[in-house]
Amino acid sequence: MAEENRTFTALPTKRATIKDVARAAKVSPMTVSNVLNKKDQLVGSKTKMRVEREVLRLNYRRQSSAQNLGGPTQDCVGMIIIDPSPYFLANLFTTQIAAGRFGLKSVRE
């Protein structure tokens, strides 16, 4: 029998969440948040290393739009484009430029 040449493709995976990291590191999501936000005085060194290892292993990436929701100030401008006509797209582009000049991030959905 001839051996078949099999190729496997990876299935698309969902992005790791802070809860996934917490579960893998056996800590609470707040502990993961403290490690990610460099609040080292609140977390022991072994726990910190365990969380950092799981962040790397799971390829966890923060969502910048979600980061902006938790703080006392908002540094982003959001736009929802319903009609992608040239007029609205020009407005979107102008808004993004203006927001960048003021140090703001623009989020569009």
What are the boundaries of each domain within the chain? 18-62, 68-108
85 band by pLDDT with thresholds 50, 70 and 90? confident
Residue 10 has pLDDT above 70, yes or no: no
pLDDT of residue 6: 61
50 band by pLDDT with thresholds 50, 70 and 90? very high
Q: How many other CB atoms sit within 10 Å of the CB of residue 25? A: 22
Query: Residue 47 — φ and ψ, nearest 5°?
Result: -65, -45
Q: Between 73 and 78, where is the model more confident?
A: 78
Mean pLDDT of 35-51: 88
Mean pLDDT of the chain: 79
pLDDT of residue 96: 82
Residue 61 has pLDDT above 70, yes or no: yes
**Nearest Cα to Cα of residue 33 among 15, 51, 54, 45:** 51
pLDDT of residue 24: 94
User: Token digits for 1?
Assistant: 């029998």
Q: Give counts: helices (H), strands (E), the chain.
A: 5, 2
- Give how far the C-alpha of residue 17 lies from the chain's centroid of Cα atoms, to the nearest Å: 8
pLDDT of residue 38: 85
